[in-house]
Amino acid sequence: MNVLGIDIGGTGIKGAPVNTLDGTLLAERHRIPTPDPATPEAVAGIVASMVDHFDWDGHVGCTVPARVQHGLVRTAANIHKNWIDTQVDGLFSRATGCRVTVLNDADAAGLASMRFGAGRGLDGLVFFITVGTGIGSAMFYNQELVPNTELGHLRLKGGAAEDYASNRVRNEKNLSWKKWAKRFQRYLDRIEFLFAPDTIILGGGISRPQKVARYWHHLSTEANLIPAELENEAGIIGAAAAAAR
Ligand code: BGC
């Protein structure tokens, strides 16, 4: 089944049609800058432009960086506060005229990883952790997603973990990779203490091979720790895969 996957991020909204059987993109990825302010209505307008760009009239899968329960947005840590209580699947369907499925961005990227990336064939308890502006999480048991885990908001050093160990904090505080890795190690320790996953997959911008080379040797876990493979496209592919289910 072919689905248009759209990944809504803090700086860019990216989309491409996806073959959900093998996770391949069927056309070149299209990127539109995220509007400012990124209200639900403004973002819905961009989602509609994306649908127009691909001349799409089929099913659409879309991510948002928030907890999404049955198409209703419940949190807004790194996005405009107006998102809270938005019935986002209905909003995007009206804006595009298409059937739209919406899910959390980390859940989508995790799904892509489990189906088509580093998590392929992995059983047991697998955590997919994506590190960017925030920290997102997706939890899988024997390949089945337990949605909306929000482990970027675990308490760490008196605040949310993502305000201590995200890539945003690394940039803002100009931390060396070693210093950032020390913070992130604390986060991994907490995850392991609470959940004892068999595997942890690290995704987001920090999973690019050039970045991995800078900090991987500073991390150590009981779990099998592996970088994600799909990088930038994971959200698009996972959104499409979720919509096809
Ligand atoms: C949000 C999550 C999201 C993560 C990564 C967090 O601030 O609460 O829903 O998955 O950022 O974007």
Residue-wise pLDDT for 5-22, tens only, equals: 999 998 999 999 999 999
> HSE-up of 197 (CA within 13 Å, CB side)?
26
Check whether 95 has a pLDDT greater than 80.
yes
The CB density around residue 5, as the number of other CB atoms within 10 Å, is 33
* Binding site membership of 152 for ligand 1 (Cβ less than 6 Å): yes
Superfamily in which the 118-229 domain is placed by CATH = ATPase, nucleotide binding domain (3.30.420.40)
In CATH, what is the architecture of 2-104+234-244?
2-Layer Sandwich (3.30)
* Binding site membership of 104 for ligand 1 (Cβ less than 6 Å): yes
Percentage above 90 pLDDT, the chain: 96
CA-nearest residue, atom 4 of ligand 1: 136
Q: In this predicted model, what pLDDT tens digit does every residue of 113-134 receive, in sequence order?
A: 999 999 999 999 999 999 999 9
Report pLDDT for 117: 96
Provide the residue ranges of all domains of the chain, joining segments of one domain with +.
2-104+234-244, 118-229
* Binding site membership of 9 for ligand 1 (Cβ less than 6 Å): no
Token pair for 60: 């659409």
> Span 40-55, mean pLDDT?
98
pTM above 0.85, yes or no: yes
| 118-229 shares the fold of 2-104+234-244 | yes
- CA dist 63 and 15 (Å) reads 10
**Considering only CA atoms, which of 34, 22, 15 is closest in space to residue 233?**
15
* Binding site membership of 108 for ligand 1 (Cβ less than 6 Å): no
Helix (H, G, I), strand (E, B) or coil at 17: strand
Residues 6+ apart with CB under 8 A from 147: 103, 104, 107, 138
CA of 123 to the centre of ligand 1 (A): 25
pLDDT category of residue 231 using cuts at 50, 70 and 90? confident
